[in-house]
Structure 1
Amino acid sequence: MQVLADEHGNVMHLFERDCSVQRCHQKVVEFAPSVVLTPERRTEVCNLALKLMKSVHYQNAATIEFLATPEQFYFIEVNPRVQVEHTVTELITGVDIVKAQIRIAAGEDLHQDIGLPHQADLHFHGAAIQCRVTTEDPENNFMPDTGRVLTYHAPGGTGVRLDGNVYSGYVVTPYFDSLLVKCCTKGDDFAEARVKMLRALHEFRLRGVKTNIPFMVNVLRHPTFVAGNCSTTFIDEHPELFRFDHQPDTPIQLLRYISNVTVNGFAGVTKQKHLNSAELPQPRYSQLQPTSATAGKTVKDILDEQGATAAMDYVKKQSQVLLTDTTMRDAHQSLFATRMRTHNMLPAMKIYDQAMPNLFSVESWGGATFDVCYRFLGEDPWVRLRLLKKYMPHTLQQMLLRASNAVGYQNYPDNVLKRFIDHSAKVGVDVFRIFDSLNWIEQMQRSIEYVRETGKIAEGTMCFTGDFLSSTEHKYTLDYYMQLAQSLIDAGAQMIGIKDMAGLLKPQAAYELVGHLKAKFDVPIHLHTHDTTGNGVATYVAATKAGVDVVDVAMAAMAGTTSQPSMGTFYYALEGDQRQPVLNMHNVEVLNQYWAGVRPLYHDFSNGINAPQPDLYRTEMPGGQYSNLKQ
Structure 2
Amino acid sequence: IRGVKTNIPFIENVVNHPIFVSGQATTTLIDTSKELFNFKRRRDRATKLLNLLGETIVNGNDQVKGRPVPVMDLPVIIPKYDHTHSLPKGTKDYLTKHGPEKFAQWTRNQKKLLVTDTTMRDAHQSLLAARMRSYDQLKVADAIAQRAGDLYSLECWGGATFDTSMRFLHENPFKRLRRLRERIPNICFQMLLRGANGVGYSNYPDNVIRGFIKHSAESGMDIFRVFDSLNYLPNLKVAMESIRKDTNSVCEATICYTGDILDDNRDKYTLQYYVNMAKELEQMGAHVLALKDMSGLCTPHAVFKLVKALRSEIAIPVHFHTHDSSGIAGASIIKAAEAGVDVVDLATASLSGLTSQPNLNSIVNALRGDKRDTGLDLQFLNELSIYWEAVRQFYGPFDTSPKFGSAEVYTHEMPGGQYTNLREQARALGLGARWPEVVRYYHEVNHLLGDIVKVTPSSKVVGDLAMFLLTKGVEPADLVNLEPGTAFPESVVDMLSGGLGQPKGGWPKAVQKVVLGDRKPFKGRPGARAEKVDLEAKRQEISKQFKREINNDDLFAYLMYPQVYTDLDKYIKQNGHARVLPTPAFFYGLKPGEEITVEIEEGKSLIVKLIYVSEPNEDGERTLTFELNGRARECVILDKSIKTESKKRAKADPANKMQVGAPIPAMVSSVAISVGQKVKKKDKLLVLEAMKMQTTVYALADGVIDKVEVQAGDQVDSKDLLVSLR
* TM-score between both structures, scaled by the size of structure 1: 0.56
**Helix, strand or coil: the match of 1:540?**
helix
Match of 1:471 among 243, 264, 284: 264
- Verify: 1:367 aligned to 2:165, yes or no: no
Q: What whole-Å deviation, never above 9, does each CA across 1:228-258 have from its counterpart, x for those lacking one?
A: xxxxxxxxxxxxxxxxxxxxxxxxxxxxxxx
- Verify: 1:306 aligned to 2:98, yes or no: yes
Corresponding residue of 2:234: 442
Corresponding residue of 2:536: none
**Residues in 2 aligned to 1:263 and 1:307: alpha-carbon distance in whole angstroms:** 42
Task: Using the TM superposition, give the Cα deviation of residue 282 of structure 1 relative to its aligned residue in structure 2, in angstroms.
Answer: 2.4
**Residues in 1 aligned to 2:77 and 2:152: alpha-carbon distance in whole angstroms:** 27
- Verify: 1:344 aligned to 2:344, yes or no: no
Task: Using the TM superposition, give the Cα deviation of residue 381 of structure 1 relative to its aligned residue in structure 2, in angstroms.
Answer: 0.3
Task: Using the TM superposition, give the Cα deviation of residue 436 of structure 1 relative to its aligned residue in structure 2, in angstroms.
Answer: 0.6
Q: What whole-Å deviation, never above 9, does each CA across 1:519-563 have from its counterpart, x for those lacking one?
A: 111101000000110111100100000000000000000000000
Corresponding residue of 1:569: 362
Task: Using the TM superposition, give the Cα deviation of residue 264 of structure 1 relative to its aligned residue in structure 2, in angstroms.
Answer: 10
Task: Using the TM superposition, give the Cα deviation of residue 302 of structure 1 relative to its aligned residue in structure 2, in angstroms.
Answer: 1.1
Task: Using the TM superposition, give the Cα deviation of residue 409 of structure 1 relative to its aligned residue in structure 2, in angstroms.
Answer: 0.8
**Equivalent residues of 2:355, 2:417 under 8 A apart:** yes
Task: Using the TM superposition, give the Cα deviation of residue 439 of structure 1 relative to its aligned residue in structure 2, in angstroms.
Answer: 0.4
Corresponding residue of 2:517: none
**Equivalent residues of 2:222, 2:250 under 8 A apart:** yes
- Verify: 1:528 aligned to 2:326, yes or no: no
- Verify: 1:587 aligned to 2:380, yes or no: yes
CA RMSD in angstroms comes to 2.3
Residues 287 and 391 of structure 1: CA distance in aligned 2, closer, same or farther (over 3 Å): closer
1:408-487 map, 5 Å: 408-453=200-245, 454-487=247-280
**Equivalent residues of 1:537, 1:565 under 8 A apart:** yes
1:12-411 map, 5 Å: 265-266=65-66, 269-273=67-71, 280-286=76-82, 297-411=89-203
**Equivalent residues of 1:501, 1:530 under 8 A apart:** yes
| Structure 2 segments unaligned to the other structure (5+ residues) | 1-58, 425-726
Corresponding residue of 2:551: none
Residues 274 and 566 of structure 1: CA distance in aligned 2, closer, same or farther (over 3 Å): closer
**Equivalent residues of 1:465, 1:504 under 8 A apart:** yes
- Verify: 1:617 aligned to 2:410, yes or no: yes
**Equivalent residues of 2:63, 2:168 under 8 A apart:** no
Task: Using the TM superposition, give the Cα deviation of residue 572 of structure 1 relative to its aligned residue in structure 2, in angstroms.
Answer: 2.1
Q: What whole-Å deviation, never above 9, does each CA across 1:577-611 have from its counterpart, x for those lacking one?
A: 21021111111112111111100110110124111
**Residues in 2 aligned to 1:568 and 1:264: alpha-carbon distance in whole angstroms:** 31
**Residues in 2 aligned to 1:434 and 1:263: alpha-carbon distance in whole angstroms:** 30
**Equivalent residues of 2:257, 2:293 under 8 A apart:** yes
Task: Using the TM superposition, give the Cα deviation of residue 260 of structure 1 relative to its aligned residue in structure 2, in angstroms.
Answer: 13
**Residues in 1 aligned to 2:243 and 2:397: alpha-carbon distance in whole angstroms:** 37
* TM-score between both structures, scaled by the size of structure 2: 0.49
Q: What whole-Å deviation, never above 9, does each CA across 1:92-120 have from its counterpart, x for those lacking one?
A: xxxxxxxxxxxxxxxxxxxxxxxxxxxxx
1:481-560 map, 5 Å: 481-560=274-353
**Residues in 2 aligned to 1:380 and 1:550: alpha-carbon distance in whole angstroms:** 30
**Residues in 2 aligned to 1:291 and 1:576: alpha-carbon distance in whole angstroms:** 28
Residues 304 and 615 of structure 1: CA distance in aligned 2, closer, same or farther (over 3 Å): same
Task: Using the TM superposition, give the Cα deviation of residue 574 of structure 1 relative to its aligned residue in structure 2, in angstroms.
Answer: 2.0
**Equivalent residues of 1:507, 1:543 under 8 A apart:** yes
Residues 464 and 491 of structure 1: CA distance in aligned 2, closer, same or farther (over 3 Å): same
Q: What whole-Å deviation, never above 9, does each CA across 1:598-631 have from its counterpart, x for those lacking one?
A: 0011011012411111111111111112101221
**Residues in 2 aligned to 1:264 and 1:467: alpha-carbon distance in whole angstroms:** 39
Task: Using the TM superposition, give the Cα deviation of residue 300 of structure 1 relative to its aligned residue in structure 2, in angstroms.
Answer: 1.2
Amino acid at match of 1:527: F
Q: Which has the larger radius of gyration?
A: 1
**Equivalent residues of 1:275, 1:601 under 8 A apart:** no
**Equivalent residues of 2:72, 2:394 under 8 A apart:** no
Task: Using the TM superposition, give the Cα deviation of residue 262 of structure 1 relative to its aligned residue in structure 2, in angstroms.
Answer: 6.2
**Equivalent residues of 1:291, 1:584 under 8 A apart:** no
**Helix, strand or coil: the match of 1:307?**
helix
**Residues in 2 aligned to 1:485 and 1:350: alpha-carbon distance in whole angstroms:** 37
Residues 263 and 285 of structure 1: CA distance in aligned 2, closer, same or farther (over 3 Å): closer
Corresponding residue of 2:422: 629
Residues 262 and 340 of structure 1: CA distance in aligned 2, closer, same or farther (over 3 Å): closer
**Equivalent residues of 1:334, 1:627 under 8 A apart:** yes
Amino acid at match of 2:163: D
Task: Using the TM superposition, give the Cα deviation of residue 265 of structure 1 relative to its aligned residue in structure 2, in angstroms.
Answer: 4.2
**Helix, strand or coil: the match of 2:381?**
helix
**Helix, strand or coil: the match of 1:486?**
helix
Q: What whole-Å deviation, never above 9, does each CA across 1:353-383 have from its counterpart, x for those lacking one?
A: 2211111100000011110011100000011
**Equivalent residues of 1:291, 1:355 under 8 A apart:** no
Amino acid at match of 2:302: A
**Equivalent residues of 2:152, 2:187 under 8 A apart:** yes
**Equivalent residues of 1:299, 1:314 under 8 A apart:** no
Amino acid at match of 1:337: A
**Equivalent residues of 2:354, 2:401 under 8 A apart:** no
**Residues in 2 aligned to 1:495 and 1:608: alpha-carbon distance in whole angstroms:** 31
**Helix, strand or coil: the match of 2:344?**
strand
Larger RCO: 1 or 2 (CA < 8 Å, sep 6+): 2
Identity in percent? 42
**Residues in 1 aligned to 2:344 and 2:61: alpha-carbon distance in whole angstroms:** 40
